[in-house]
């Protein structure tokens, strides 16, 4: 089964545990500035929204890369940057419609979410279930179940 | 070694910023944040210093767990001599500012002297400079944060600042970060204002890379987070209701100081409770509470984000209060509400937003409004003097007094001095519900006896957060004690005081202590920090910090007679509720406390005590 990150922004409290987990997993350091997942705070609406790469099936970044530095991890479906091939041209950062590939000045390469090889640290670290790693074909399952629970059976019961 | 081992010293008089190595010998004795910064402070500052003079210093300090995945590991503290009290001030804040300071590579920032003109400090990792703040002076904390982020062209910059209250020398002004988190008490904002320092903007991209044993640390933090998640208070009560979970509980106990503590139960408590914040308003069909909110690294998320009815009289022509913003915590709801007899939830929410906007401590401020209302009721203050009618129960008076104090207008200047100075000026000094000049918060010492001793002996003036015996006396954490008796409270208060000093020095939030004991914190510290961090050592560190603060206060001129409660607490018995007929037993508890502390009957640490603690 292929799995995807599934984000339920309503559950996000803005604690940034995901950002620390991401930087620790990828760079061995607690540093939100190096995180590939970001929490956006729409403070006047009281909303916090985690955002990262959704691993498009037809990935713009992958198609745009002139040196084929982005490939598909067969096991996870993640679009992965090969740092030794990447030349830092940043074309992928322009191609990505969602802004989730970003240049890292320190390394001269780009970075993006690679699903941590199939066990995303952000989802493990999230204390509220705002970020989960679920069956790609059924990312809507919990939402369906929640709405199903609100479906009114009263008419049938009384019939 | 979770310390960055670097401190930043900013001389505002000379306009210089320089890096110094952290004194690691002291770090081993005082841990970080509250303890370590206080050590620096007492070594460098004359206890007799005028708090608002250039000779006073102000330290912003992180702890070793700040900027790590330890739950709630995002705290920072401001240490200085407080202008409200004349005692050591130590105000702790969450939000994101503390972690960002750590990520920029600094354990603490020491501010000294006074700038000739308004400035703000800009920190981008190692790049540190004082910048002109003429365009920021006169602005609120909300405006200041917005302007700085815009001019830095960096929305990820974190800002702490003072509002107009701090500029105007309001003696309970605070330092606000991330719009609605605050280093709140004792007037640390006025110290910042007295130095012509408007704000600190920080962007840290270096991160925390100095954990001693990362693997063990991750294991320890994961285990400790589970303890928080599984606990009824930190896992359920606080996320759902915030600290406001207490409003109805404390009211039913007969320990909710009402109308300047004339009463101990408030008939309107239900209307301003955490439960009420969840209920839909009849006017617009929406609830006051929009969502809960976490500070950096916090897996509890007790923060409140609220939104008031746009048609509420307090905001009808004022769109800046229409959006979601920091909502009422228990202490603020009590102070602006019960202490004044007001139960208009939206009005209190707006008054609280104004406190955030211009940087005022709602505890001292609300208690000062309560005192002013009592003076008004007695005829010691008139409508002409205040500018408005100010009877108890008037929501309009609370909102208007908040506005005039925030803006420094008219009678607001007198309210800005706090209740001790206000009640003394108008001939009724006994009506200030304060200790060492600082107002006590939302737990009546007649109904929760341990809190009386907590207030009397708190090193920063009356405060619930130095030894929150409510945990034991109300919630049964770690063991249930009877709130109506004085027996055993000296020992209880001491245990809480010393443990709290460790939590406050570690970089974590004291609210974790509803679920965590020192035994849950110890493995996290031991994995993060070099050196021996055994339970025995932590207990000693906590006691050492407490005695160090006490010595500073004693040298500043405080004596045993300052460890006392307002007369009302000792002579006017609770009129209703479980504590009916009781006054505070402070006179019985205090000598027991001194003895158990190893202090003289005059409240001075004995030689043997100091020797044992290495002081």
Chain B contact set for A48 (CB, 8 A): 293
The predicted structure's pLDDT at residue A156: 62
A24 assigned to some structural domain: yes
Chain B contact set for A23 (CB, 8 A): 207
Q: How many domains does chain B have?
A: 3
Instruction: Retrieve residue B516's tokens.
Output: 């965590």
Q: What is the CATH number of the domain that holds A33?
A: 3.30.70.20
What is residue B271's DSSP assignment? G
> Rounded mean pLDDT of chain A?
94
Residue A75: which domain range? 56-112
Q: Residue A10 class from Cβ within 10 Å (0-12 exposed, 13-18 middle, 19+ buried)?
A: exposed
A4 assigned to some structural domain: yes
Q: Are residues B184 and B322 in the same domain?
A: no
> Which of A32, A33, A127 has the CB atom closest to B225's CB atom?
A127
Out of B203, B230, B265, a domain closes at B203
pLDDT band at A1 (very low <50, low <70, confident <90, very high): confident
The predicted structure's pLDDT at residue A152: 76
pLDDT band at B254 (very low <50, low <70, confident <90, very high): very high
Rounded to whole angstroms, the Cα distance separating A128 from A8 reads: 10
pLDDT of residue A154 exceeding 70, the answer is: no
A155 assigned to some structural domain: no
Q: Are residues A66 and A106 in the same domain?
A: yes
Instruction: Retrieve residue B546's tokens.
Output: 């407490």
pLDDT of residue A155 exceeding 90, the answer is: no
In this structure, the number of other CB atoms found within 10 A of the CB of residue B86 comes to: 22
Residue B51: which domain range? 6-203
Q: What burial letters (b/e) apply to B267-287, b meaning 16+ CB within 10 Å?
A: ebbebbbbebbeeeeeeeeee
Rounded to whole angstroms, the Cα distance separating B277 from B281 reads: 9
ipTM of the complex: 0.95
Report how far Cα B77 is from the mean position of its chain's Cα atoms.
9
> Which of B68, B69, B294 has the CB atom closest to A125's CB atom?
B69
- The average pLDDT across B589-599 equals 98
Q: What is the CATH number of the domain that holds B555?
A: 1.10.599.10
Out of B384, B409, B438, a domain closes at B438
Out of B407, B438, B469, a domain closes at B438
List strand residue ranges (DSSP E) for A90-129, in order.
Answer: 102-104, 109-111
Q: Are residues A34 and A66 in the same domain?
A: no
What is residue B223's DSSP assignment? H
Task: Summarize pLDDT for B281-339 with one digit per residue, the tens.
Answer: 999 999 999 999 999 999 999 999 999 999 999 999 999 999 999 999 999 999 999 99
Report how far Cα B596 is from the mean position of its chain's Cα atoms.
27
Q: Are residues B352 and B454 in the same domain?
A: no
Instruction: Retrieve residue B55's tokens.
Output: 């000779």
Q: Residue A63 class from Cβ within 10 Å (0-12 exposed, 13-18 middle, 19+ buried)?
A: exposed
Which positions ≥6 away from B277 have C-beta within 8 Å? B241, B242, B244, B287, B288, B289, B304, B306, B327, B328, B345
Residue A116 gets the label, from left (phi > 0), alpha (psi -120 to 50) or beta, of left
Q: Are residues A64 and A96 in the same domain?
A: yes
pLDDT of residue B1 exceeding 60, the answer is: no
B224 assigned to some structural domain: no
Q: Are residues B523 and B467 in the same domain?
A: yes
Q: Is the dihedral of CA A57, A58, A60, A66 positive or negative?
A: positive
Q: What is the CATH number of the domain that holds B417?
A: 1.10.569.10
Contact A46 B291 (CB under 8 A): yes
Bridge partners for A6 per DSSP: A132
Q: Are residues B279 and B397 in the same domain?
A: yes
Nearest Cα to B541, choosing from B437, B460, B614? B614
Tell me the Cα Rg of chain A.
18
Distance from CA of A28 to the nearest CA of B (A): 8
pLDDT band at A40 (very low <50, low <70, confident <90, very high): very high
User: Is the Cβ of A100 closer than 8 Å to some Cβ of chain B?
Assistant: no
Instruction: Retrieve residue B488's tokens.
Output: 């055993």
A156 assigned to some structural domain: no
B230 assigned to some structural domain: no
Rounded to whole angstroms, the Cα distance separating B560 from B210 reads: 43
> Which of B69, B296, B305 has the CB atom closest to A46's CB atom?
B305
Nearest Cα to B230, choosing from B325, B300, B139? B300
User: Is the Cβ of A20 closer than 8 Å to some Cβ of chain B?
Assistant: yes
Q: How many domains does chain A have?
A: 2
B541 assigned to some structural domain: yes
B231 assigned to some structural domain: no
Task: Summarize pLDDT for B67-99 with one digit per residue, the tens.
Answer: 999 999 999 999 999 999 999 999 999 999 999
**Peptide bond preceding B182 in cis form (omega within 30 of 0):** no
Contact B293 A13 (CB under 8 A): yes
- How many residues are listed for chain A in this entry? 159
Q: Are residues B417 and B450 in the same domain?
A: no
Rounded to whole angstroms, the Cα distance separating B110 from B375 reads: 41
pLDDT band at B362 (very low <50, low <70, confident <90, very high): very high
Task: Summarize pLDDT for B537-578 with one digit per residue, the tens.
Answer: 999 999 999 999 999 999 999 999 999 999 999 999 999 999
pLDDT band at A159 (very low <50, low <70, confident <90, very high): low
Task: Summarize pLDDT for A120-152 with one digit per residue, the tens.
Answer: 999 999 999 999 999 999 999 988 999 999 987
pLDDT of residue B594 exceeding 90, the answer is: yes
What is residue B135's DSSP assignment? T
B228 assigned to some structural domain: no
Q: Which site among B124, B292, B293, B302 would you substitute to test the A interface, given the most A Cβ atoms closer than 10 Å to its Cβ?
A: B293
Q: Are residues B474 and B455 in the same domain?
A: yes
Look at the block and give the residue holding tokens 């359920």. Answer: B236
The predicted structure's pLDDT at residue A157: 58
Task: Summarize pLDDT for B495-509 with one digit per residue, the tens.
Answer: 999 999 999 999 999
pTM of the predicted structure, to 2 decimals: 0.97
Q: Which site among B2, B3, B68, B69 would you substitute to test the A interface, given the most A Cβ atoms closer than 10 Å to its Cβ?
A: B69
Rounded to whole angstroms, the Cα distance separating B344 from B348 reads: 6
- How many residues are listed for chain B in this entry? 615
Look at the block and give the residue holding tokens 């009592």. Answer: B374
Which positions ≥6 away from B23 have C-beta within 8 Å? B40
């Amino acid at each position: 089964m292929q799995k995807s990150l599934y984000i339920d922004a309503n559950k996000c409290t803005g604690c940034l545990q995901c950002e620390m987990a991401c930087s620790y997993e990828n760079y061995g350091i607690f540093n939100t500035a190096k995180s590939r997942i970001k929490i956006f705070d729409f403070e006047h609406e009281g909303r916090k929204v985690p955002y990262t790469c959704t691993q498009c099936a037809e990935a713009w970044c992958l198609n745009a890369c002139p040196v084929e530095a982005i490939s598909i991890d067969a096991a996870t479906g993640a679009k992965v940057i090969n740092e030794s091939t990447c030349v830092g041209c940043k074309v992928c950062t322009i191609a990505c419609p969602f802004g989730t590939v970003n240049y890292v000045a320190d390394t001269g390469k780009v970075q993006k979410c690679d699903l941590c090889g199939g066990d995303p640290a952000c989802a493990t670290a999230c204390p509220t279930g705002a970020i989960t790693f679920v069956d790609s074909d059924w990312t809507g399952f919990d939402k369906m179940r929640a709405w199903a629970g609100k479906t009114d059976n009263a008419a049938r019961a009384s019939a | 070694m979770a310390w960055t081992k670097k401190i930043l010293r900013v001389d505002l008089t000379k306009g210089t910023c320089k890096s110094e190595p952290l004194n690691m010998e002291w770090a081993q004795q005082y841990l970080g944040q509250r303890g370590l910064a206080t050590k620096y402070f007492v070594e460098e500052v004359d206890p007799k210093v005028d708090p608002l003079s250039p000779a006073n210093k102000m330290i912003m300090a992180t702890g070793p767990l700040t900027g790590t995945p330890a739950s709630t590991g995002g705290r920072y503290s401001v240490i200085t001599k407080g202008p409200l009290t004349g005692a050591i001030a130590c105000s702790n804040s969450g939000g994101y500012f503390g972690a960002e300071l750590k990520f920029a590579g600094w354990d603490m920032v020491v501010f000294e002297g006074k700038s000739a003109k308004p400035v703000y400090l800009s920190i981008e990792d190692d790049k540190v400079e004082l910048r002109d703040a003429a365009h920021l002076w006169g602005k609120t904390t909300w405006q200041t944060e917005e302007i700085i982020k815009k001019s830095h062209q960096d929305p990820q910059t974190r800002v702490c600042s003072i509002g107009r209250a701090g500029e105007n020398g309001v003696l309970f002004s605070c330092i606000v970060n991330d719009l609605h988190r605050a280093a709140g008490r004792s007037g640390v904002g006025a110290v910042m204002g007295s130095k012509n320092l408007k704000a600190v903007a920080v962007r840290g991209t270096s991160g925390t890379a100095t954990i001693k044993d990362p693997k063990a640390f991750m294991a320890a933090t994961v285990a400790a987070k589970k303890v928080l998640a599984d606990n009824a208070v930190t896992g359920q009560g606080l996320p759902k209701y915030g600290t406001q979970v207490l409003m109805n509980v404390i009211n039913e106990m007969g320990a909710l100081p009402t109308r300047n503590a004339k009463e101990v139960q408030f008939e309107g408590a239900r209307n301003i409770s955490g439960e009420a914040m969840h209920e839909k308003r009849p006017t617009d069909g929406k609830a006051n509470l929009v969502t809960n909110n976490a500070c950096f690294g916090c897996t509890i998320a007790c923060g409140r984000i609220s939104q008031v009815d746009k048609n509420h009289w307090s905001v009808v022509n004022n769109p800046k209060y229409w959006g979601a913003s920091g909502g009422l915590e228990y202490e603020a709801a009590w102070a602006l509400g019960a202490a004044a007899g007001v139960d208009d939830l939206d009005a209190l929410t707006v008054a609280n937003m104004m406190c955030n906007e211009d940087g005022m401590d709602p505890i001292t401020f609300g208690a000062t409004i309560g005192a002013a209302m009592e003076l008004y009721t007695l005829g010691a203050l008139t409508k002409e003097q205040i500018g408005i009618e100010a009877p108890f129960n008037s929501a309009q008076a609370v909102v208007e007094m908040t506005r005039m104090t925030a803006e420094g207008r008219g009678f607001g200047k007198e309210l800005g001095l706090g209740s001790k100075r206000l009640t003394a000026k108008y001939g009724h000094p006994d009506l200030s519900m304060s200790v060492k000049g600082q107002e006590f918060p939302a737990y009546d010492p007649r109904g929760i006896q341990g809190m009386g001793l907590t207030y009397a002996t708190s090193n920063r003036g009356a405060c619930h957060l130095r030894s929150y015996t409510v945990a034991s006396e109300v919630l049964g954490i770690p063991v249930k004690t009877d709130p109506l008796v004085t027996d055993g409270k000296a020992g209880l208060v001491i245990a809480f005081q010393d443990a709290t000093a460790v939590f406050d020095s570690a970089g974590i939030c004291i609210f974790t202590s509803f679920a965590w004991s020192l035994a849950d914190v110890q493995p996290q510290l031991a994995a993060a920090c070099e050196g021996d961090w055994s339970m025995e050592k932590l207990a000693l560190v906590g006691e050492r910090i407490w005695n160090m603060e006490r010595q500073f206060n004693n040298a500043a001129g405080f004596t045993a007679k300052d460890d006392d409660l307002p007369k009302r607490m000792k002579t006017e018995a609770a009129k209703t509720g479980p504590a009916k007929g009781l006054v505070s037993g402070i006179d019985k508890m205090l000598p027991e406390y001194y003895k158990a502390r190893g202090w003289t009957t005059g409240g001075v640490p004995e030689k043997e005590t100091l020797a044992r603690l290495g002081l």
